[in-house]
Amino acid sequence: MQTPFNRLKQPKLLLLVVLVLAAFSLGFKVAQDMAIKSADVKTAQKILDLDFNDQEIEQMLPNLNRSLGGTQELHAYELDNSTPPVLWFNPPKGSRPIPTKQEAIAWGFPENVQLPANRNDLAFYTVAELSVLIREKKISSVELTQFFIDRLKTYGDTLQSVITITEERAMAQAKRADELLAGGTYLGPLHGIPYGAKDLLAVPDYKTTWGAGPFQEQNRGEELATVVKKLDDAGAVLVAKLTLGALAMGDVWYGGTTKNPWNLEQGSSGSSAGSGSSTAAGLVPFALGTETLGSIVSPSTRNGVTGLRPTFGRVSRAGAMALSWSMDKIGPMARNAFDCALVFDAIRGEDQIDLTVEDHPFNYKGKADLSKLRVGYLKEFFDNNREGQKEKDNQVLTVLKKLGANLEPVEWVSDMPFGGMQAILTAEAAAAFDQLTRSDRDSLLVRQNAGAWPNLFRSARFTSAVDYINANRARYELVQKVNELMKEYDVIVTPSFGGSQLLTTNLTGHPCVVLKNGYNEAGSPMSISFIGNLFDEATILSVARAYQEATEFDEQHPPMFID
């Protein structure tokens, strides 16, 4: 399937003006019984927070009816989910310099990695450890791939975390990886490593369901998501397409509710539900997730894995379901920050399809010297935590201090119209699934409550174009304020769901690493988040790795899935 990103060269404001003028000149006709009348406008004003008088309303009616005719034509025009708007979000970079030269990376791979006496222990080896085993030919990719496919078949139904096992493709890839290595060709750290992908990423010959009933048999033809292609090129082996909450919300999909492997009575959170659950339970060494507003952070927290939400515009979304063109991001979910760095290095960068993506160096340091970094923490959010979470989060600060960090209290950005800016997401999502709403096929989605997509899509139709644009203007100021704050720091530590920071950083596009820092009273994982500057995933991943090497949380796994 052709992806229309490559038909767009640059945003053209003039095009919008021409279209508006054309609409008026064509004089679109509206059936008389469907014509907008004064009473309609008076009622609609309440929804849009307007107060026009009778004379102003009468003067508007001819224009409104012409516009309605054009709107009806637009509704009759079929748009595929993959078609982006001609205007897109490009966060202003601020004054913090972005590196221009790629430096050699000293990864710091583990040494003397051995196969376990009990082969089942391979389920919780890190990507780095498995990489050493493959490179040193202590295990073949075919053996490793079959091992994880067996785990997917054994536990996938229990967790309701797997939609499709891509066995035929996986075994062919694994065989090729082994043949290349036998012939002296090594593709890098992900050579021969199995993984899973959230099932909103298109892969030829396999359905791409988006976790939603209306699309459960969808085939995207020859469309291949760029991130999957990049992992193919890196030698990684796709073994499964994993569950997501329907249309990237929550953990409820058309086949059930994805489970938290630490507590099977609890959902795994979402929307990268299957990616988090399957990685935590050792069904895959790592997985790809996506985030628009918490869909990597939340399931990483619930399932106790490490997630990287990269900078907006760092990883191509070509071949991925669009929910919000200006907020969607793709990132890895893995056992630890080191593994996330390995995967991120493979999937980042331009593809000349998703034109929001920029190429910038990834100057990752395997070892971080925290004494040479400026590390802030959002004191208000730490202070306002509930007691159980406060204790765990404060312990993170203690560990960072022991590692040499001089922690500085930081006041987060506030006094912004966050509710109005959140409408950016719902308006874009409603546009992405307009045809689903108008066809009434949204009734096929499992969740139908006030907070579920069908209702949110309908409600978003009443966000005006003017308000959507002004929300993005406020967003521009928000990015500048966060940049101004972040330029003083290399890392800011925060409770993962503290105050407005999750919404803020998803609106501004700043990167975040989320990682386990303990357990709640029910035994389920909790998390802490490290926020970085735009395009500086390297620093926050290095700091996260230092924290994890000083603690044991990333080495602890759900007991019921350890054989």
pLDDT at 28: 47
The DSSP line for 441-452 is: GGGGSS--STTS
Torsion angle of C-alpha atoms 366, 369, 375, 377, degrees rounded to 10: 70
CATH 3.90.1300.10 in the chain, residue ranges: 119-359+367-412+476-561
* Among the four given CATH numbers 3.20.20.140, 3.90.1300.10, 3.40.50.1820, 3.50.40.10, the one describing domain 119-359+367-412+476-561: 3.90.1300.10
Beta strands in 64-158 (DSSP E): none
pLDDT tens for the chain, 563 residues long, are 444 444 444 444 333 333 444 444 444 454 556 799 999 999 999 999 999 999 999 999 998 998 888 888 889 999 999 999 988 899 999 889 999 999 999 999 999 999 999 999 999 999 999 999 999 999 999 999 999 999 999 999 999 999 999 999 999 999 999 999 999 999 999 999 999 999 999 999 999 999 999 999 999 999 999 999 999 999 999 999 999 999 999 999 999 999 999 999 999 999 999 999 999 999 999 999 999 999 999 999 999 999 999 999 999 999 999 999 999 999 999 999 999 999 999 999 999 999 999 999 999 999 899 999 999 999 999 999 887 899 999 999 999 999 999 999 999 999 999 999 999 999 999 999 999 999 999 999 999 999 999 999 999 999 999 999 999 999 999 999 999 999 999 999 999 999 999 999 999 999 999 999 999 998 999 999 999 999 999 999 999 999 999 999 999 999 989 87
Helix, strand, coil percentages in the chain from 3-state DSSP, rounded to 5? 45, 15, 45
CB contact at 8 A, 295 and 271: yes
Helix ranges (H only) for 136-209 are 141-159, 167-182
Helix ranges (H only) for 220-336 are 226-233, 273-280, 297-303
DSSP secondary-structure letter at 81?
T
Of 353, 261, 253, 343, which Cα lies nearest the Cα of 299? 261
pLDDT at 22: 44
Which tokens is 422 given? Answer: 């959140």
Kindly give, in sequence order, each residue whose CB lies less than 8 Å from that of residue 187, ignoring residues fewer than 6 positions away.
177, 180, 233, 234, 235
Helix ranges (H only) for 405-452 are 418-432, 434-438
CB contact at 8 A, 290 and 248: yes
Which tokens is 51 given? Answer: 């107060």
Amino acid at 96: R
d(CA 517, CA 421): 31
What Å distances lie between residue 563 and 16, 434, 558, CA to CA? Answer: 60, 47, 11
CB contact at 8 A, 458 and 357: no
The DSSP line for 212-253 is: -GGGTT---TT---HHHHHHHHTT-EEEEEE--STTSSSSEE
